[in-house]
Amino acid sequence: MAEKIVIIGGGQAAISCASQLRSTGFDGKICIICEENSYPYQRPPLSKKFLTGDILEERLQLKKMDYYKANNIQVLLANRAMKIDRDSKKIYLQNGEKIDYTKLVIATGSRAKKEPLDEGDDYSNVFYLRNLYDAKNLKNALHLGKKILIIGGGYLGLEVASVCSSYGMNTIVVEGSDRILKRVAGEPTAVYLRQIFSIKGVEIIENDFVKKINNVESNVTSVELASGKIIYIDTLLIASGGYPEVDLAEEANLQIENGIKVNERLETNDPSIYAAGDCASFYHNGDFLRLESVGNAIDQGKTVALNIAGETTAFNVKPWFWTEQFDQKLQIAGLCNGYTDIIERKLNDKVSFWYYKNNMLIAVDAFNDPYSYMIGKRLIEEKKSPNKETISDINFEVKDALNLK
């Protein structure tokens, strides 16, 4: 039987997998099922330069349209996969069609959390940001002098907050945890970034949450916080995180554990089905981990492709992230979970935080300092941990740490 690879999802993991398959010389059929009416596109700019107008829609595409034809990759747009029949190896589509596969890749990403709203709530001035459609709607709502409340102090919420502030909007961020970036960055990184937002006039309310939403017909007029504070607003953005899209997998009796559970080759409990990207949950340091990042989606997509092509490959996680807030570009290598010590290096407008777990370097957060980020990333990947006293010396050239024994 001729090989036919079907990929469900139109994001970074999907195109990474498809393009890697062709690069390895795989000559079987490839079909990508996109729920949206857009060819696979970049999503990180949606909360940054797409909102500001610095990047137009056509520049978001991951590959030019003629790439798919030239590489014999079928793309089904505006079509949703409704069911996976593992016994017959068929995908049932929303339009009534069925598609056969020999190997299936689930790259369905994640969907936005809607709390404190209910699933059925529909307000004209409440927005989410998960896809291009969301970004276009939000962009149309950004106006000088208007007040926006953003629920969620993670990267997404803060990126949009910096854009809104630059638009001249009265911008407020509400974070339920005791600090911003609680799940994704260490405290020094959060404190540094919070100071930037304060200087720019963005109000950040931590350790509080929206208790009640007040509306007039389909328009939210104000919110009441748990602390009792009432905030009158023109626009509300909910950016409190996402859920992995696992419904298809769950209905097909694939194992779910903080996402679609995969082994080291990113196979599910069905060896003919793989998962990659935001929806995939893999074993790392004693627990099942999901990483919602471009880097992870690219790496997992490539790993799946190599395994499908017969090159048995274990996924080697190399966490890296980046975000832009005002004039600050933050680049992160590694995961700082469980750190015991932090070394700060500061030189002019370049600041980096080096996270250690006992004597092991586990993460580097670098503001406007790509050099420290790149060196830190290499050190972590090569499992090299320079002495903390050495790193704390601002006169020490961090590149020399690569040569330390």
Which stretches in the chain have pLDDT values below 50?
A: none
Q: What is the pLDDT of residue 264?
A: 96
Long-range contacts of 185-191 (CB under 8 A, 24+ apart): 185/332, 185/336, 185/365, 186/336, 186/339, 186/342, 186/353, 186/355, 186/363, 186/365, 188/342, 188/344, 188/353, 188/365, 189/330, 189/353, 189/365
Q: What is the pLDDT of residue 405?
A: 63
Instruction: Compute CA distances 250 → 82, 85, 187, whole Å.
Output: 12, 12, 36
Domain membership of residue 265 (yes or no) is yes
Residues 272 and 236 in one domain: no
User: Which range of residues forms the domain containing residue 351?
Assistant: 327-403
The whole-angstrom separation of Cα 89 and Cα 383 is 42
Residues 151 and 123 in one domain: yes
The whole-angstrom separation of Cα 76 and Cα 230 is 46
**78 Rama sector, left if φ>0, alpha if ψ -120 to 50, beta otherwise:** left
Q: What is the pLDDT of residue 153?
A: 96
Q: What is the pLDDT of residue 2?
A: 83
Domain membership of residue 318 (yes or no) is no
Q: What is the pLDDT of residue 285?
A: 78
End residue of a domain, out of 240, 255, 282: 240
Domain membership of residue 211 (yes or no) is yes
End residue of a domain, out of 240, 269, 296: 240
From 19, 303, 54, select the one nearest 166 (Cα to Cα). 54
Total domains in the chain come to 3
Q: Give the CATH number for residue 395.
A: 3.30.390.30
Q: What is the pLDDT of residue 348?
A: 86
Q: Give the CATH number for residue 173.
A: 3.50.50.60
Q: What is the pLDDT of residue 1?
A: 60
